[in-house]
Chains A and B, each alone.
Chain A
Amino acid sequence: MEAFGLLLHGFAVLLTWKTLALMMVGLVLGIFVGVLPGLGGPNGVAILLPLTFTMDPTSAIVMLSCIYWGALFGGAITSILFNIPGEAWSVATTFDGYPMAQQGRAAEALTAAFTSSFIGSLVAVLLITFLAPMISSFALKFGPPEFFAVYLLTFCSFVGLGREARHKTVISMSLGLLLAGVGMDTVSGQLRMTFGSSELLRGINFLVAVIGLFGISEILLTMEERLALRGHAASISLRVVLGVWKDLPKYWVTLLRSSFIGCWLGITPGGAIAASFMGYNLAKRFAKDPETFGKGRIEGVFAPETAAHASGTAALLPMLALGIPGSGTAAILLGGLMVWGLNPGPLLFVEHKDFVWGLIASMYLGNVVGLVLVLTTVPIFASILRVPFAAVAPMIVVSCAIGAYAIQNAMFDIWLMLGFGVVGYVFKKIGIPLAPFTLALVLGNRAEDAFRLSMIGSGGDLKVFWSNGLVGSITTLAIVLLFWPAIDGLLGRLGWTQRTGATAR
């Protein structure tokens, strides 16, 4: 157990008053930036990065990674209370988290979100601790065809397992794919659909779209319907927390499944975003009563949050071992590493043991401390719901606008965000789901690039998607999921569905 010894060494590096204090500071700052929609982890880390230049690398990374954990925890707060996802992976948390808040179960939803975040991270850290060397060689197996297969799997699982009418999912996804094409095309080096505008050069930023689609449209709907946030003051107490925890064992299958999906997609470079959606969809798929999802079901919070945090944590591994950032925040941390004179790569684990194991140890500690911190502050956040809508709404709009602006420092993005607010409102009115749209906007570009690179590499032969065991099985799984309703129906006629229903619980 070499890993165990190294981990203990890591804790020894970590357990000084100075490091612990930095950890607390990082977590509080992180929760704060996580709560502001759009500001989120990447920006928070970017703003605070220069503060760490004079620190030693271990203290610096501990503080920055704690900002990251804090932001991950904080992102759940706005998703649940206001239906505004702060990060890409918080989108799926809104599906059941927000309805729960509307039913006055905000505290329960927040507790569930924080707890499952903790579980997801913990599983991923355990994985990093013991499997680091093996995993980095797994990630190297991913070339363009493998990447495309993973994206295809995500898209297909949406169409095949989605809750909404399939044609509406496809419409929504196609619109997202269309908008993802705006801007510079990496493969040909040409501009597409920019119509001569220099604002459209950089394409449509996913976060700007999400803030508009979810946040602004929600405000519009609320104004039209009732001018009040529907949530009741959440009476958070130790009892609620313990109540949620007591029920946890009931959901062990969901938690385990989501952790697994999260870890798998997290170490797959670039797959972190897909994890929360897939965790949610699969939880629904295997539930006895899928129709109660989306109406405030606690499992609908557990599933995406666990997966999101498992993947968010696991995403640090390809960054350290290969220098490929799995998420926006990981990319900024990567920049930080270089400033401190550490070069991410296969040798980092050999040459800078103190740093790597200090970081891994800080993942354990940071998550424990973070969980306690957010749980004790839940009442403060939940009490926001007691503030009259007329006072809170303008503040939300302003913070959305700041968030949208801060992503690229562009005024144009604020107009774009407002435009997406109207689009989101219309979509909600005519019952077109927003999630496939946002998913396509995030992954559309990468999926397209991966597909075209595979085609260049294979000379235009589609068989490349079945050229080895890894890519072949992912592609096949994707196609099975796409036609899952038909397959499920067929199995049902053969009397098999009973069995799948039983294993889910």
Chain B
Amino acid sequence: MKAAVALTAALWAAPALAGWEPTKPVEIVVAAGAGGASDQMARMMQAAIQKNSLMKQPIVVSLKGGASGAEALMYMKSSEGDPNKVLIAYSLIYMLPLSAKIPFNWRELTPVAVIGLDQFVLWDNSAGPKSVKEFVEAAKAASAPFKMGGTGSKREDHVLTVFLEQKTGAKFSYLPYKSGGEAATQLVGNHTESNVNNPSENLEVWRAGQVRPLCVFDKERITYTSKVTDTQSWADIPTCKEEGVDVQYLMLRAMFLPGKVTGEQQAFYVELFHKVTQTAEYKDYMEKQALKPIFLTGKDMVQFLEEDDALNKSLMTEAGFVAK
């Protein structure tokens, strides 16, 4: 089977001088469950590519969210040389190998492009404290455990919770849910006091007035100024630093091919995702879900990944989440 694949690949490599193109349907591999931020983004790209006819072959989304996303990583690792699978990655590529000792290293994959940076926001129930200061006081004063919901254990949300504790001196009970959507509804139902969801995960409940954004974990405010609710836009949310809690974290959204694909194949996808970032679908999505637009490829991307990896590693180590 492998030999056959290699043979077809070799046969295809020869006449591919005019530029390689996929000959089979292309799979976008999502390392998260249905409805999560990665899934939404993958569906947006699927729609953008199909509606604008950016590629001849059809594109499908395959959900590989098993084992907190490790399933997708192992799937990409085992698809070496297959140019018809592209992973939509986020910070789990650094964190999962550290916390759960998954035998995976992103350097074994072929980087294509970083296509966005996702924000994190501190949210509480709209019936809860109205500012970061009141929130921290409430957490400190609480007699029962003060509950923070999040996605997964020893990951972005959990790390942020630990750093919030360090900077504020408050104590949280972290409840790891299976998805950001679940964390959102549990906050609305008052089963947790707060969460640190990505904007996209809490957008709808915010618009419905059920949760309140307290601060955004970034150096500067989000730039989108059109109104999301009746009174507020993304840009109206203060940064956590402004509110006296200096915690920052941005999460990459990047595309990877499996290892050992040819330069032409890589180039095809760089071009493809570059075109995707020019579409109306992409721009609309970035604004609606408050992502930071960014497009990095080649050397810039690798340098970015190395720095981001080092940063995540030090955060994970400091939080005590690295498995021995």
Contacts and interface: CB of A to CB of B under 8 A. Distances in A.
A163 B20 CA distance: 62
Given A50-B58, A346-B205, A184 B66 contact: yes
Contacts of B102: 191, 201
Contacts of A338: 35, 39-40, 43-44
A335 B43 contact: yes
A344 B200 CA distance: 12
B185 interface: yes
A142 B47 contact: no
Interface string B289-314: 00000000000000000000000000
Contact of B35 (A183, A202, A331, A456): A331
Contacts of B24: none
B126 to A, nearest CB: 12
A332 interface: yes
A53 B47 contact: yes
B178 interface: yes
A144 B175 contact: yes
Contacts of A361: none
A503 interface: no
Contact of B47 (A185, A189, A339): A339
B140 interface: no
B142 to A, nearest CB: 11
B34 A325 contact: yes
Contacts of A449: 178
B189 A140 contact: yes
Contact of A189 (B34, B46, B176, B190): B176
B73 to A, nearest CB: 9
Given A184-B68, A323-B185, A143 B191 contact: yes
B182 interface: yes
Contacts of B74: 198, 201
A380 interface: no
B38 to A, nearest CB: 11
A386 interface: no
A50 B47 CA distance: 8
- The A interface, classified by DSSP as helix, strand, loop or mixed, is loop
Nearest to B174: A456
B62 A325 contact: no
Interface residues on A, range: 35 or more
A70 B103 CA distance: 42
B323 interface: yes
Interface in B59-77: 59-62, 64, 66-68, 70-71, 74, 77
Contacts of A347: 204, 207-208
A185 B154 CA distance: 11
Interface residues of B, number: 62
A183 B67 contact: yes
A144 B175 CA distance: 10
A498 interface: no
Contact of B62 (A322, A409, A457): A409
Interface in A98-151: 140-144
Nearest to A184: B67
B5 interface: no
B100 interface: yes
A201 B145 contact: no
Nearest to B191: A143
Interface string B225-258: 0000000000000000000000000000000000
B35 A339 contact: no
B317 interface: no
B152 A190 contact: no
B35 A189 contact: no
B147 A202 contact: no
A343 interface: yes
A197 B70 CA distance: 12
B188 A186 contact: no
Contact of A143 (B33, B103, B189, B208): B189
Interface in A343-364: 343-347
Interface string B59-99: 11110101110110010011000000000000000000001
Contacts of A16: none
Contact of A456 (B99, B175, B189): B175
Nearest to A339: B43
B167 interface: no
Interface in B100-114: 100-103
Contacts of A190: 99-100, 323
A186 B157 CA distance: 13
Contacts of B58: 50
Given A143-B189, A184-B68, A187-B176, 7 more contacts: A143-B190, A190-B323, A201-B71, A202-B64, A325-B34, A332-B34, A338-B40
Interface of B: 33-35, 39-40, 43-44, 46-47, 50-51, 58-62, 64, 66-68, 70-71, 74, 77-78, 99-103, 144-145, 147, 152-155, 158, 173-178, 181-182, 184-186, 188-192, 203-205, 207-208, 210, 321, 323
14 contacts: A54-B51, A185-B153, A186-B176, A189-B99, A201-B102, A323-B35, A331-B35, A334-B35, A335-B61, A338-B35, A346-B205, A408-B66, A457-B192, A459-B145
